[in-house]
Amino acid sequence: MTEGDKARLTRRATILKSLAHPSRLLIIEMLEQAPRCVGELTEAVEADITTVSKHLALLRRTGLVRAEKRGTYSEYSLACDCISHLIDCIEDTHDGGLGAAEDGLNER
Q: In the chain, what are the domains?
A: 3-79 (1.10.10.10)
Q: How far is CA 59 from each of CA 4, 17, 67, 77, rounded to the nearest angstrom?
A: 23, 10, 10, 11
Distance CA 36, CA 94 (A): 32
> What is the H or E stretch that residue 73 is in?
strand 73-78
pLDDT of residue 108: 40
How much of the chain is helix, strand and coil, in % rounded to 5? 65, 15, 25
Tens digits of residue pLDDT in 27-65: 999 999 999 999 999 999 999 999 999 999 999 999 999
